[in-house]
Amino acid sequence: MNQTDNTPAKASFRQVILSFFYLLMFPVILFFLAGDWRWTEGWIFSILFCGLSFATLVYLYFNDPALLNERFGPPVQKDQKPWDKVLLSAFFLGFLVWFAIMPLDAKRFGWSPEFPSWIKILGTLLFILAFIILFGALKENTFAAPVVKMQKERGQKVISTGLYGTVRHPMYTGGTLLLISGPLLLGSFYGLATGLLLTVILAVRSLGEEEMLRQELDGYSEYMKKVKWRLIPFVF
C-alpha cells in the first residue's frame, strides 16, 4: 500500500461504529420500499452491500487511517474543484434515485418483467467483483479521496501499481460495475437504466479529474501515456 511519510490522525472508533449503523439504513429503506421482508434478492443485495462495505471500513481503520479520514469528509469541501461540486451533487442525487427505484420496480410495482435466474446470478457475481475492484483501488491508493482536489498536504503522488497499472480510475470502474450489477441482481430494468446514466457522470468526472492531475500533479502526464485506458480496457 502506498502511504505518505506523515503520521495521520486516526479516525475514531466511534465514526466506524456510526458508519455501521448508517449502512444498516440501506436494507431498512430497501425493504420498506419493496414492501416485502422475504425478498430473497433484497437480502442477498443487502448482506453483500453492508458486509463488504463495512469490511472495507474496518480495513482502512487499521491500515490506512489517513484515507479513511478523507472518506469520512463532507461531500462539499473547500479545496474541491467547483465543477466537481456540481457533478458530485448530481451523482448523489442520481444514486438515491437508483437505490430507491430498484425495490419499487423489481418488487413493489413490478414494472420490469421477471429477470431470468442466470441474469440475477451473474449480477450477484459482478456485484461481488465490483467490491473487490473498489477495495483493490482503496488498498493501493491512499489518495483516493471522495472529492476531486489536490492533496498537497499529504504529499500526493502518482499511483501506478496494482489496478492503477491497468486503468487510470479503478474506483470508477468498480463504481460502474456496482451500478450495473445491482439492478441485474435485483431484477430492475429502470435501475439498470439509471445506473447507466450515472456511469456517464463518472466518465465525465474522470475527464475533469485527469485534466486537474495533468496540470497539477508531477508525473501524471507520463502516467497517462503509460496507462492508456480510463475505466474499461480497450473501451474507454
- Span 111-133, pLDDT tens digits: 999 999 999 999 999 999 999 99
Distances from the Cα of 70 to the Cα of 37, 158, 188, angstroms: 35, 17, 33
Q: What average pLDDT does the chain have?
A: 93
CA distance 184 to 186: 6
Architecture of domain 13-226: Up-down Bundle (1.20)
Longest dimension (CA), the chain: 54
Domain ranges of the chain: 13-226
Residue identified by cell 430473497 is 40
Task: Say if residue 11's pLDDT is above 70.
Answer: no
pLDDT of residue 3: 42
Q: How many CB atoms lie within 10 A of CB 35?
A: 12
Could you tell me which of 148, 199, 152, 147 has the C-alpha nearest to residue 173? 199
Question: Residue 81, CB half-sphere, CA atoms under 13 Å: how many?
Answer: 21
pLDDT of residue 139: 96
* % of the chain with per-residue pLDDT over 70: 95
The pTM for the full model equals 0.92
Q: How many CB atoms lie within 10 A of CB 6?
A: 10
Residue identified by cell 479529474 is 209
User: Tens of pLDDT along 127-160?
Assistant: 999 999 999 999 999 999 999 999 988 889 999 9
